[in-house]
A and B are shown apart, each in its own frame.
Chain A
Amino acid sequence: MDLVSGYKGMVGLVFGNENSGSSEDSYVERLLDRISNGALAEDRRTAVAELQSVVAESRAAQLAFGAMGFPILMGVLKEERDDVEMVRGALETLVSALTPIDHGKGPKNEVQPALMNTDLLSREAENISLLLSLLTEEDFYIRYYTLQLLTALLTNSPNRLQEAILTIPRGITRLMDMLMDREVIRNEALLLLTYLTREAEEIQKILVFEGAFEKIFSIIKEEGGSEGGVVVQDCLELLNNLLRNNASNQILLRETMGFDPLISILKLRGSTYSFTQQKTINLLSALETINLLLMGGPEAESAKDANRLLTNKTVLVQKKVLDHLLMLGVESQWAPVAVRCAALQCIGDLIAGYPKNLDALASKVLGEEPHVEPALNSILRIILRTSSVQEFIAADYVFKCFCEKNSDGQTMLASTLIPQPHLMTHAPLEEDVNMSFGSMLLRGLTLNENDGDLETCCRAASVLSYILKNNIQCKERVLRIELEAPMPSLGAPEPLMHRMVKYLALASSMKSKDGKSSPTGNLYVQPIILKLLVTWLADCPNAVHCFLDSRPHLTYLLELVSNPSATVCIRGLTAVLLGECVLYNKSSESGKDAFTIVDSISQKVGLTSYFLKFDEMQKSFLFSSAKPAQPRKALTRSNAASMAEIEDVEENDSSNQNEDHPILISTFDAQFVNLVKKLELDIRENIIEVYSQPKSKVAVVPAELEQKSGESDGDYIKRLKSFVEKQCSEIQDLLGRNANLAEDLAKTGGGSISQPEQRAGGASERVQVETLRRDLQEASQRLEMLKTEKAKIESEASMYQNLAGKMESDLQSLSDAYNSLEQANYHLEKEVKALKSGGATPSPDIDAIKAEAREEAQKESEAELNDLLVCLGQEQSKVEKLSARLLELGEDVDKLLEGIGDDMGLPEDSEDEED
């Protein structure tokens, strides 16, 4: 085989590093030889047994076996089915060859013989087919080892095996049949199927087609339901694999077996007070099943999916699942926290957005006559009293789901919010059984105020915020609630809302007192109370009015919003709250209207800095990470134990000190985050509007400016004067605001206020830039000046050049004249000579005349030349002067004069000639 020879090379390489290798190699080879060529059946069986034991113990032998053994042992499985012992031995050897030997030694990147062997075995689909056919063998061990072998293959290379099994006709049917086999085989098959169904949707469906649900539930029943052992856990894990994100299978379960068998697992019976770890895990697994039936698919698609969920919810409630969930989540005193939390969460999912189920929960009562109470009251008690953060979050979730889009439910709860006489609020905690929901909640809101512990108060506030959410009637109703002062002697009763603001302030003062080591509680006390107020004021002008009734409230908010020791979240929510005071302000009372509040914000905080609080909050972890509910982590054998013990992980987890505290995460759910985001947009728009269109106090009506008939001049002037005064004061006002804005603008220009260094840096930079700009301006001005100067000089130079040219041409003509004179002279002389030699002697005369004439001409030309020279000298000195100046100005004089120099040459020449 090609493959094997390649593998041999590999093995040789590996053996090169291992000393004992070659001996194992040859030993394995000898055993394989005995198996394939041996004549005696007994000897071959012994060889197989020996092979198995050596492969089970040594990595080297595993490698050696992988290199040579597979064809031989597969041959045994194929050809020698009758020899049960041989087949058993071969299978057992294969299992050993695929089981990693962990001696905890050797480098990590070393070849894993078990993995390589898996690869070799699973490469041929035919091998898988052969193995599956072995499942029909009579012999127990053959089936058992075969299952083990398949499980090993699946663990090491899941995809290949899934594919192989899918393509083998009736492959899954064979595996399913194993579930009806003897117990050991059945349990092994369960594990195998659980591995097989983790991801492959098609396998999940075929399994269900083959009747997996019936088999799973019958095994669970046989094993004792939730009281059963790990087999029940395995069954539930398989069940969950079949249902997770698989709408088709969910429908099938619902439509054929129904949810009864599932719900009956949740039923507590017998020893309800004892919850072993196994039972806890079983119950958690069954609760996960419920959760899977209630969760949307990963893509949360289409109406079809919504329809499926709705039907699931309906059927589950019809089957009384709510009773069992309430038993597990609320009533049972012995159920572990993890189970209680999971049950509460299921209750929340079950009722969310489904009116029928909401009503079902609302009308549930718990306990036995005469001590019955509504289930919602019991859940509220959990919220107020539990010591587990997780349990609070889970119970809180129930109320969140209950109040979501359920205005009737909200109204029902709010209607019971009636303050009790003072004595009642101070009754011992345990006596709340007969209290109404509202009384309990109110007591929770005001409890422990004196101890300075606002934990209970903020939990109650969280519930109250759900009751008020998007429900104007409830908001108005709760606004009217007035509480007695803590000590009756101390003044009049105050509205509940004012009390909440007081607690908000109290929480921050406690924080500053305790410093850094403040209890974790305070991390979320303020945000939760702020959330309540934000929810309350949203879209409710009366709430805004009530809030602003007390002047210090606004002052406090203005302080809190820029308080550097508050978290980003607190400052952000405070900013939202302030914004709501503007946005939903319908008041026209001076000092309480939107205008005044915008004014105070801009004066005390500055608009830029104010809007910055929103941005900071948007960028914070809580906002960026808020997403709609994620599916919970699947419960598997490996993580089940840790999931069963979630009790108070937060106590020792220091990371929870920060803003990813679980309570904060649940407070800032996707819906609230969206509300805040929407509010922010509106607030920005509104504030800009308020600011840009100041309501003018003085109406200008042109007709009124005229003198009225019958009005005396004095009155008219008085009236006009007062009008002008009013306008004047308004202008003053506007100027003041303008100054504020300008200041704000200036601050923005210098960078953000919270980063003074940067601003300073910016300012100094600006100064520098200013200086540089000035310098630049100056330089360019000078350059301009120089340019014009240069142009002037240039024009002057060219003028002189022209002049010089003219002089030159003058000189030329002069010298021409001179030349012609001389020539004439020469001619004359020649003539005279000729005449002289001709005989006559008029020569002395002629000579005399000639000399005279020459003298005269010479004199004349000399005088002219002198003039010219003087003139030239003047010009030259002028040029010299100018070029000196040009040089001074950095002008290249030689270059400038280049052209001129050539022309100048000529007159000079003529001068030389002259000299």
Chain B
Amino acid sequence: MSYAYLFKYIIIGDTGVGKSCLLLQFTDKRFQPVHDLTIGVEFGARMITIDNKPIKLQIWDTAGQESFRSITRSYYRGAAGALLVYDITRRETFNHLASWLEDARQHANANMTIMLIGNKCDLAHRRAVSTEEGELFAKEHGLIFMEASAKTAQNVEEAFISTASTIYKKIQEGVFDVSNESYGIKVGYGGIPGPSGGRDGSSSQAGGCCS
């Protein structure tokens, strides 16, 4: 149960794009074709390893429906990473990305890492949004981008892990004050930031501002 870091994630995006399925695939390695509508938020967790360090991911899967927006906004600020999901077979879910992003920028901390995911890429024959469009949107807004499928598990691990790597890199670069838990990052007991901080110049800088 010990970990070097704990990252909090949120998953956001329109209703029905497959947020809960992505989480289930990531935590339980299962796919459930029929999933109940998420009410409010649901929780999932998994341990991953980055740079040989155990990292705990706490993931909050939010309800996509408009009526839950005010509740789900409460989760933005404390999250270190966000998976912004759309459905490549439904154009409107892509069109709504801008409003989701705006919400996130407004309520989350500025350093939140956002990963854009075009889900359901197994349904290529019904594609309504091209990969290039997704890439372009991500580039314009400074997001990481990936197409994935919760059904076939394609890129699911990668999406969660590469988000974590990005956050991890930001920590190494001293972007975060890791002692402040409001960034959605917690230093655990299992991994001691001290030694790595000793080796890494930027980390020791972060340590310096803590003391």
Contact = CB atoms under 8 A, between A and B. Distances in A.
Interface of A: 166-167, 169-173, 201-202, 205-206, 208-211, 248-249, 251-252, 255-256, 258
Interface of B: 1, 6, 8, 40-45, 56, 58, 60, 70-71, 73-75, 77-78, 107, 181-182
A256 B6 contact: yes
A209 B75 contact: yes
Contact of B40 (A171, A201, A208): A201
B74 A169 contact: yes
Contacts of A258: 1
Which 4 pairs, one residue from A and one from B, show the smallest C-beta to C-beta distance?
A255-B45, A248-B43, A206-B74, A252-B43
24 contacts: A166-B70, A166-B71, A166-B74, A167-B70, A169-B73, A171-B74, A173-B78, A173-B182, A201-B40, A205-B40, A205-B41, A205-B43, A209-B60, A209-B74, A209-B78, A211-B78, A248-B41, A248-B42, A248-B43, A252-B45, A255-B45, A255-B58, A256-B45, A256-B58
Contacts of B77: 169-170, 173
Given A211-B181, A251-B44, A256-B45, A206 B75 contact: yes
A252 B181 CA distance: 17
A210 B78 contact: yes
A172 B60 CA distance: 17
Contacts of B44: 251
Nearest to A260: B1
Contact of A251 (B6, B40, B43, B70): B43
Given A166-B71, A209-B75, A252 B58 contact: yes
A734 B182 CA distance: 89
Q: Majority SS of interface residues in chain B?
A: mixed
A172 B6 contact: no
A255 B45 CA distance: 6
A164 to B, nearest CB: 11
B41 to A, nearest CB: 5
Contacts of B43: 205, 208, 248-249, 251-252
A166 B107 CA distance: 14
A251 B27 CA distance: 12
Contacts of B1: 258
A169 to B, nearest CB: 6
A97 to B, nearest CB: 29
A266 to B, nearest CB: 19
Contacts of B60: 209
B202 to A, nearest CB: 26
A249 B43 CA distance: 7
A251 B45 contact: yes
A205 B72 CA distance: 10
Contacts of A169: 73-74, 77, 107
A170 B74 contact: yes
B113 to A, nearest CB: 18
A201 B43 CA distance: 13
A172 B45 contact: no
A764 to B, nearest CB: 65
Contacts of A206: 71, 74-75
Nearest to B182: A173
Contacts of B8: 209
Given A170-B77, A248-B43, A202 B58 contact: no
Nearest to A165: B74
Given A252-B45, A252-B58, A256-B58, A172 B74 contact: yes
Nearest to A210: B78
Contacts of B41: 202, 205, 209, 248
A173 B6 CA distance: 19
Q: Which of B43, B58, B71, B107 has the most chain A CB atoms closer than 10 A to its own CB?
A: B43
Nearest to A201: B40
Contacts of B42: 248
Nearest to A307: B28
B92 to A, nearest CB: 26
B38 to A, nearest CB: 10
Contacts of B74: 166, 169-173, 206, 209
B173 to A, nearest CB: 25
Listed residue (A206, A209, A251) with the most chain B CB atoms within 10 angstroms of its CB: A209
A166 B56 CA distance: 28
Contacts of A201: 40
Contacts of B182: 173
A252 B71 CA distance: 18
A217 to B, nearest CB: 14
A169 B108 CA distance: 10
Given A169-B73, A201-B40, 4 more contacts: A166-B70, A169-B77, A173-B182, A209-B41
A202 B56 contact: no
Contacts of B78: 173, 209-211
A202 B181 contact: no
A209 B8 CA distance: 9
A250 to B, nearest CB: 9
Contacts of B71: 166, 202, 206
A205 B78 CA distance: 13
B70 to A, nearest CB: 5
B150 to A, nearest CB: 17
B5 to A, nearest CB: 12
Contacts of A208: 43
B77 to A, nearest CB: 6
A252 B42 CA distance: 10
Nearest to B58: A256
A173 B107 CA distance: 13
A201 B71 CA distance: 11
A169 B109 CA distance: 13
A127 B211 CA distance: 38
Contacts of B45: 251-252, 255-256
Nearest to B10: A209
Nearest to B184: A209
B40 A256 contact: no
A256 B56 contact: yes
Contacts of A170: 74, 77
A19 to B, nearest CB: 48
A636 to B, nearest CB: 25
